Amino acid sequence: MVTALKRQRKSFDFTAKRRREIVLHARHVGAMDTEDLSQWLVAWVWHNRKAKDQIWSVMEAAKRMGGKITEAEASSVTEEASICRKHLTADNLARVLGVTYAQRQHLRLTTIGSVNVKKRARKELRKRSCRLRKERMRRARGMRPQSQSLSATQPWKQLGMSRRTWERHRNRARDATLSAPSFHTLVADVPMSVVPCWVFGRRPMSENSARAA
């Protein structure tokens, strides 16, 4: 199991995932129809350093973003990407591309931050979402909320006793209920030939009636 997780981590390509998310956001906001289309392409080039033919790669990236550029325009993009300052952190890249938190959630982006909800706030929101999800799972399994637990309600205080005394009385009452046999159980355990007839609501037969029968 541990070896499989290590192999999965080694095979994960962060730059490839970020390139896909840049393309996804560009298509979502219609970047190719704006005057700032080069921002998405430049950011894409920042994460495509190993490309053998960068110009062709940029032209293909523009197609995936929903547009089309010439070879000269692709060359200009690669040149701009090589001389401008690179913004590689999640929130800095989000500021360059204008990614909002709503867009991040809608597109399920994980390698790009957001301009209006910073890293620390996103971490707190993830914790809250995880806590609510676990709470829903507990409710589905029939578990009571914390506000209804014994530690929260403390019923022994209303009776003026300690918790140990209250639990001792509760356990005794529960054991008595579970161990006390019911009338029908007692009757069911006795052979029918031994059970008196009045148990079933019939009057006992007289000796003469019994002989006549």
The predicted-structure confidence for 17-42, as pLDDT tens digits, reads as follows: 999 999 999 999 999 888 888 999 99
Residue 112 within a domain = no
Q: Which domain holds residue 71?
A: 9-107
Q: Chain-wide mean pLDDT for the chain?
A: 81
Residue 173 within a domain = no
Residue 87 within a domain = yes
Residue 63 within a domain = yes
Query: Which strand (E) or helix (H) includes residue 139?
Result: helix 119-140
Q: Model-level pTM?
A: 0.61
Structural domain tally of the chain? 1
Both tokens of 134, joined, read 């676990």
Residue 40 within a domain = yes
Rounded CA separation 78/76 (Å):
6
Residue 158 within a domain = no
The predicted-structure confidence for 62-88, as pLDDT tens digits, reads as follows: 999 998 999 999 999 999 999 999 999
CA within 13 Å, CB half, 64: 16
The predicted-structure confidence for 81-105, as pLDDT tens digits, reads as follows: 999 999 999 999 999 999 999 999 9
Residue 199 within a domain = no
pLDDT at 210 over 50: no
Rounded CA separation 209/213 (Å):
6
pLDDT at 162: 87
Residue 61 within a domain = yes
Both tokens of 103, joined, read 């867009």
